[in-house]
Chain A
Amino acid sequence: MKINKYFLLALPFYLIFIFFFIIPLILTIIVSFWDYTEYSIIPDFIFDNYKYIFNKCFKFSNDLCVTFKTYLSTFYFCFMAWFFTLIIGFTVAYFLVFHVRSVGMQIVLFLICTIPFWTSNVIRMISWIPLLGRNGLFNSFLISTGVIDEPQEWFLYSHFSVILAFVHLYTLFMIVPIFNSLIRIDKSLIEAAYDSGANGFQILTNIIIPLCKPGIIIGSIFVITVVMGDFLTIGIMGGQQIASIGKIIQVEMSYLQLPSAAANAVILLIITLLLIWTMTKFIDIRKEL
């Protein structure tokens, strides 16, 4: 009887997952094997959609194929966004936990970190454009101070601006779980290490970082999954000149090439899951939570 009671308690959650996650996912996988025309999708079982995605991908004599190139560029953005959000996120969380003494002040500063989230992330992204543009604030400032002679083009619509926007948008996703892990570290451990003669760096690498690994991994999962599926940030900040899998899926959707988009989505899902699976190898999240 006990099992039944718990099952009932969990039932709403099961239902939500089945209807809004499992079923759509199965449909996506089914549709990815269908055929399509300009105005309809045709039930079928063909591998053309997948074949096209990896078209010419395994002939290494030529340039890389579009799919590999796109994933490579997405991985690059993932790594850069992950690296900078981790450094900044960890530093901020460390400061909040170990350098701010009063709990009240910690809460106030933590809330300040969330203020940018009161506006839409599109607005936060777009606000960079007037700053970074050819005639933007940064360029005018640098020219007027004599640092540069002519406007720098690489500020905007470049890899730089995309990474900048990612870091700006997603650092909080790192701060929150890392903060959460850090604040649970028993301060007496640090005192003990200090008393045993460890210096600041040793405390950081031997005590703090190992103990906040779960926070780092959770934050990394957030950032990496968001960046893998992104097309808006890369689109807007990259001047739509930089490819992303999300953008390819979006274009295919708007031309009703739904099976093709579904196939791309399935591949993206598999790759993202592989990434997350690799990360969870570093730490058992369930155990740590």
Chain B
Amino acid sequence: MIKLVSTCNIFNFYKGVDMKKMNKKITRRSMLKSTTALAGAALGSGLITGFPAIHASGTPTIRYLGTAVNMGSEPEKKLFEDTGIKVKYISKTTDEVVKTILTQPNSFDIVDSEYFSMPKLVPSGSLLGMDTNRIKEWSNVVTAFTEGKVNGKTIGDQGTAPKKVLYLKGPNSTEFSKEPTRYATLIPTVYNADTLGIRPDLIKRPINTWAELLNPEFKGKACILNIPSIGIMDAAMVVEAMGEYTYPDKGNMTKAEIDLTMKIFTEAKKAGQFRAFWSDFNESVNLMASGEVVIQSMWSPAITAVRSQGIPCIYQPLKEGYRAWAAGFALPSTAKGRQADICYEYINWFLSGWMGAYLNRQGYYSAVLSTAEKNMKAYEWDYWMNGKPAAQDILSPTGKKLASKGEIRDGGSYNDRMGAVACWNATMDENKYMVRKWNEMIAS
């Protein structure tokens, strides 16, 4: 999704636009650099065995394609200090990342993608099977990924749950493996449980079910995101919570189920339930902060951005559970030699703890919690992970105050939040049909 944005005003809207421009420059520059790096790789190939040796020739540089979640200047600096690797960010939206992997597989060295994109990407053969033997912390990756369990309890696996698409049959396979193998589609990095955001000061009563999104009480003050693949999941949570229908698998609807879901939302839209739809992270922040909308689908850092303006906003836990998402690293199928080694070293650094703490402090979760814990203060860990009241003020990685002493994280502990996951972001078999139906709803 999008990185933590601490300041927010209408001008943030342009960040997306500016970033695209910047990326073009970055890409061109980094292309030059990595060409040099590749030349170095050609010279040194065959001799390379361990990681330190690869630094013998030139500054290692990687072009990192992804959404902005993990892209910050602090991680960039820290990475260079620790490993001597330079990283060039290419930041795009979730859908654009997929498009870039498929259409320009040589424009990046490493990609940070979401698990729900795997059913689209793996059959295309554009990504390399990731060798888990080269990941030092592989055995410590949380069970939410490997087994679909949190704290020993099996969590919801509707949709494209990571465990369904984690393993490949071989390094160049285009098929998923149900059994664990040595080769993974993505090396997990970050994940979270999403829910509805609300303005408690304007709603003034408890909210505890997804059905409230279509409650006529909030007519003209509700909002849903206009990204079909994610919006349909939120819509399904609402339909199920209203008792209209129980899906066998929300993440893989039949045409009839898609019709039903869209019919309910089309009717609500026609009745004026929604103030707007958002497709940009900052739009959701502005809608909420300005009071145009009091209840809407939201992402965790957007809540933080609203709160950092001093406006109350809650990431409301709901009884039906959360919609989860998860991301991880992959290399393009053309990756080899030194450049691939550098990427693996980068992934190992990523999972070694500093970055995990950085992610946890933004309200996300790191795929390897054991190393992240060592890089966080005990009071931080208690607040973010154990659902305990903050022993002192909680600061973001950039030093902004996120919570005062005594406050408790929305939704509570890791086990409470991730344990209550009901479904995952998904790519459905009927995706084509779903996107069309979604367009029809917008047009209605």
Chain A positions near chain B (C-beta within 8 angstroms) = 38-40, 52, 66, 69-70, 120, 122-123, 126-127, 129-130, 133-136, 153, 156-157, 235, 239-241, 243, 247-248, 251-252, 254-257
A39:B442 contact, CB within 8 angstroms: no
A133:B443 contact, CB within 8 angstroms: no
Chain A's closest residue to B119 (CB) is: A38
Report Cα–Cα, A39/B101, bound state, in Å. Answer: 10
Task: Write the nearest CB–CB distance from A159 to chain B, whole angstroms.
Answer: 13
Q: Which residues of A are found within 8 Å of B290, using beta-carbon distances? A: 129-130, 133-136
Interface assignment of B308: CB less than 8 Å from any CB of chain A: no
Q: Which residues of B are found within 8 Å of A40, using beta-carbon distances? A: 102, 124
A157:B439 contact, CB within 8 angstroms: no
Q: Which candidate, B67-75, B236-244, B273-281, is the interface stretch facing chain A?
A: B273-281
Q: Select one of B14, B229, B286 contacting A129, CB under 8 A.
A: B286
Q: Select one of A69, A123, A157, A254 contacting B99, CB under 8 A.
A: A254
Interface of B is mostly: helix
Chain B positions near chain A (C-beta within 8 angstroms) = 10, 13-14, 17, 93, 95-96, 98-99, 102, 119-121, 123-124, 126, 220, 226, 228-229, 269, 274-279, 286, 290-292, 427, 431-432, 435-436, 438-440, 442-444
Task: Write the nearest CB–CB distance from A223 to chain B, whole angstroms.
Answer: 23
Q: Select one of A70, A157, A240, A257 contacting B432, CB under 8 A.
A: A257
A122:B17 contact, CB within 8 angstroms: yes
Chain A's closest residue to B103 (CB) is: A256
Chain A's closest residue to B14 (CB) is: A122
In the complex, given contacts A38-B431, A254-B93, what are 16 additional A-B residue pairs having Cβ atoms less than 8 angstroms apart?
A: A39-B102, A66-B443, A69-B444, A122-B14, A129-B10, A133-B290, A136-B290, A235-B279, A239-B274, A240-B279, A243-B444, A247-B442, A251-B438, A252-B435, A254-B99, A256-B98
A240:B443 contact, CB within 8 angstroms: no
A255:B228 contact, CB within 8 angstroms: yes
B220:A256 contact, CB within 8 angstroms: no
Report Cα–Cα, A153/B95, bound state, in Å. Answer: 32
B120:A157 contact, CB within 8 angstroms: no
B431:A239 contact, CB within 8 angstroms: no
A52:B442 contact, CB within 8 angstroms: no
A130:B10 contact, CB within 8 angstroms: yes
Q: Which residues of A are found within 8 Å of B444, using beta-carbon distances? A: 66, 69, 243
Report Cα–Cα, A243/B443, bound state, in Å. Answer: 4
A38:B443 contact, CB within 8 angstroms: no
Report Cα–Cα, A52/B220, bound state, in Å. Answer: 32
Report Cα–Cα, A126/B274, bound state, in Å. Answer: 20
Task: Write the nearest CB–CB distance from A123 to chain B, whole angstroms.
Answer: 7
Report Cα–Cα, A136/B120, bound state, in Å. Answer: 43
Q: Which residues of B are found within 8 Å of A157, using beta-carbon distances? A: 275-276, 292
A256:B226 contact, CB within 8 angstroms: no
Q: Which residues of B are found within 8 Å of A70, using beta-carbon distances? A: 443
Known: A52-B436, A239-B276, A240-B276. A254 touches B102 (CB 8 A): no
B291:A135 contact, CB within 8 angstroms: yes
Interface centre among A40, A156, A235, A241 (most CB of B within 10 A): A241
Q: Which residues of A are found within 8 Å of B228, using beta-carbon distances? A: 251, 255
Q: Which residues of B are found within 8 Å of A241, using beta-carbon distances? A: 269, 274, 276-277, 442
Report Cα–Cα, A255/B438, bound state, in Å. Answer: 12
A39:B121 contact, CB within 8 angstroms: yes
Report Cα–Cα, A115/B228, bound state, in Å. Answer: 38
Q: Which residues of B are found within 8 Å of A133, using beta-carbon distances? A: 290-292
Q: Which residues of A are found within 8 Å of B269, using beta-carbon distances? A: 241
Task: Write the nearest CB–CB distance from A216 to chain B, whole angstroms.
Answer: 32
Known: A52-B436, A241-B269, A256-B102. A134 touches B292 (CB 8 A): yes
B443:A239 contact, CB within 8 angstroms: no
Report Cα–Cα, A39/B102, bound state, in Å. Answer: 7
